[in-house]
């Protein structure tokens, strides 16, 4: 579901790369894309319009067509006997739906009732490197600041960054439609709604989802989520306060989105002792991860492989 989008197109690449076992593959999107052809595993397949009747012959649904679409169609897929791995925010905080990063809480998959949620992309990019540290030295507090690529807002936002950059260089007027502000040569607060407490929805997701994935309701987290004029891969500055002093420092490589793009790994660097925590319990680090891959399509395919 949502195969023509930024995440959907990546799904096709990853299913092919990982040689995911399947007898057949059905491509679903809106009526706008019906009839369009997309290639996977050397085959040209037609895109079909998503309807409630789409799921009769389907075992597994990989969903990335937006929260409203998942809310409407995931129950129909489950009723038809399919398991849905959902990339949208529709079911993430539902207590009956496991929210899974396979490297962290793969076991939670077993409790599913037909729907398994894939976490928010910034949450995954943070959780993958923080979890192994948390296991050896429980993290008490996380302060995270993100530098998020425009592709997080979908395929049209990527085209908008390109068009906006060109317009600005040519001195032409440009009015953004997908993002609230011009993305080229600019930085702005994540394009999600700001609540009464001043946090935007993306920041809230990072906080609440991490607590659910880590099974750690008491972990203290604060986040500032920002869009930067990067096409692909989210970066994050992460400050951690541990229960006990922590000393290891291995590399001072600076992970860059251009390096992280197209990679499965979350790149981690600039690891250093936080000088403002004189008791030695603080670490600063900088990470960058391809949020369309590990932050979305790859994480969902990993879940499907475990299923």
Residues acting as catalytic residues:
121, 234
Using CB under 6 A, pick the residue from 29, 61, 213, 267 that binds ligand NAP: 29
Return the exposure string of 195-215: e unless at least 16 CB atoms fall within 10 Å of the residue's CB, then b: eeeebbebbbbbbbbbebbbe
CB 64, min distance to ligand NAP, A:
4
Rounded CA separation 97/99 (Å): 6
Rounded CA separation 136/139 (Å): 9
Q: Which residue, judged by CB position, is nearest to ligand NAP in the bound state? A: 5
Residues 285/270, Cβ–Cβ less than 8 Å = yes
Residues 188/197, Cβ–Cβ less than 8 Å = no
CB 62, min distance to ligand NAP, A:
10
Across the chain, the runs of DSSP E, i.e. the strands, are 27-29, 37-40, 43-49, 60-63, 83-86, 115-117, 139-147, 188-189, 220-224, 226-227, 234-242, 267-273, 282-289
Residue 30 found at the interface with ligand NAP (CB under 6 A):
yes
Rounded CA separation 191/227 (Å): 8
Among the listed ranges 58-66, 179-187, 219-227, 276-284, the one in contact with ligand NAP (CB under 6 A) is: 58-66
* CA-angle at 36, arms to 31 and 40, nearest 5°: 120
Sequence-ordered list of residues with C-beta below 8 angstroms from that of 66, at least 6 positions apart, any chain: 2, 88
Number of residues that bind ligand NAP (CB under 6 A): 29
Residue 65 found at the interface with ligand NAP (CB under 6 A):
yes
The DSSP 8-state label assigned to residue 295 in this structure reads I
Using CB under 6 A, pick the residue from 15, 33, 147, 227 that binds ligand NAP: 33
Using CB under 6 A, pick the residue from 76, 155, 201, 256 that binds ligand NAP: 155
Residue 192 found at the interface with ligand NAP (CB under 6 A):
no
Residues 269/251, Cβ–Cβ less than 8 Å = yes
Taking the least distance from each CB to ligand NAP, the nearer of 8 and 164 is 8
Residue 221 found at the interface with ligand NAP (CB under 6 A):
no
Residue 8 found at the interface with ligand NAP (CB under 6 A):
yes
The DSSP 8-state label assigned to residue 118 in this structure reads P
Among the listed ranges 63-71, 169-177, 240-248, 263-271, the one in contact with ligand NAP (CB under 6 A) is: 63-71
Taking the least distance from each CB to ligand NAP, the nearer of 246 and 288 is 288
Using CB under 6 A, pick the residue from 14, 54, 55, 64 that binds ligand NAP: 64
Three-class SS state of 144: strand
Using CB under 6 A, pick the residue from 296, 298, 300, 304 that binds ligand NAP: 296
In this structure, the dihedral spanned by the alpha carbons of residues 157, 158, 164 and 169, taken in order and rounded to 10 degrees, is 170
CB 267, min distance to ligand NAP, A:
17
CB 129, min distance to ligand NAP, A:
18
The DSSP 8-state label assigned to residue 64 in this structure reads -
Residue 161 found at the interface with ligand NAP (CB under 6 A):
no
Using CB under 6 A, pick the residue from 6, 14, 74, 303 that binds ligand NAP: 6
Taking the least distance from each CB to ligand NAP, the nearer of 4 and 235 is 4
Residue 66 found at the interface with ligand NAP (CB under 6 A):
yes
Map the footprint of ligand NAP across residues 80-119, applying CB under 6 A: 87-88
Which residues sit at the interface with ligand NAP, rule CB under 6 A?
Answer: 2-8, 29-30, 32-33, 50, 64-67, 69, 87-88, 121, 151-152, 154-156, 291-292, 295-296
């Amino acid at each position: 579901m949502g195969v023509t989008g930024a995440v959907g197109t990546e799904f096709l690449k990853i299913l092919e790369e990982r040689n995911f076992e399947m007898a057949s593959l059905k491509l679903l999107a809106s009526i706008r894309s019906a009839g369009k052809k997309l290639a996977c595993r050397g085959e040209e397949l037609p895109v079909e319009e998503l309807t409630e009747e789409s799921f009769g012959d389907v075992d597994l649904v990989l969903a990335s067509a937006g929260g409203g679409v998942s809310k409407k169609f995931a129950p129909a897929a489950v009723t038809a006997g399919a398991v849905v791995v959902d990339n949208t925010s529709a079911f993430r905080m539902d207590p009956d739906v496991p929210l899974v990063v396979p490297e962290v809480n793969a076991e939670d998959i077993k409790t599913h009732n037909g729907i398994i949620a894939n976490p928010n992309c910034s949450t995954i990019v943070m959780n993958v490197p923080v979890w192994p540290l948390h296991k050896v030295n429980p993290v008490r507090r996380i302060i995270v600041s993100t530098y998020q690529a425009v592709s997080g807002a979908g395929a049209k936002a990527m085209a908008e960054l390109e068009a906006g950059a060109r317009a600005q260089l040519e001195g032409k007027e440009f009015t953004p439609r997908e993002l609230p502000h011009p993305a080229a040569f600019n930085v702005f607060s994540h394009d999600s709604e700001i609540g009464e407490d001043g946090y935007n929805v993306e920041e809230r997701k990072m906080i609440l989802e991490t607590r659910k994935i880590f099974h750690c309701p008491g972990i203290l987290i604060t986040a500032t989520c920002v869009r930067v004029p990067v096409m692909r891969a989210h970066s994050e500055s992460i400050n951690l306060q541990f229960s006990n002093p922590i000393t290891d420092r291995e590399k001072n490589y600076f992970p860059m989105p251009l390096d992280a793009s197209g990679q499965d790994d979350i790149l981690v660097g600039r690891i250093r002792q936080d000088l403002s925590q004189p008791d030695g319990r603080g670490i600063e680090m900088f990470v960058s991860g391809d949020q369309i891959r590990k932050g979305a399509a790859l994480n969902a395919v990993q879940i499907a492989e475990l299923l």
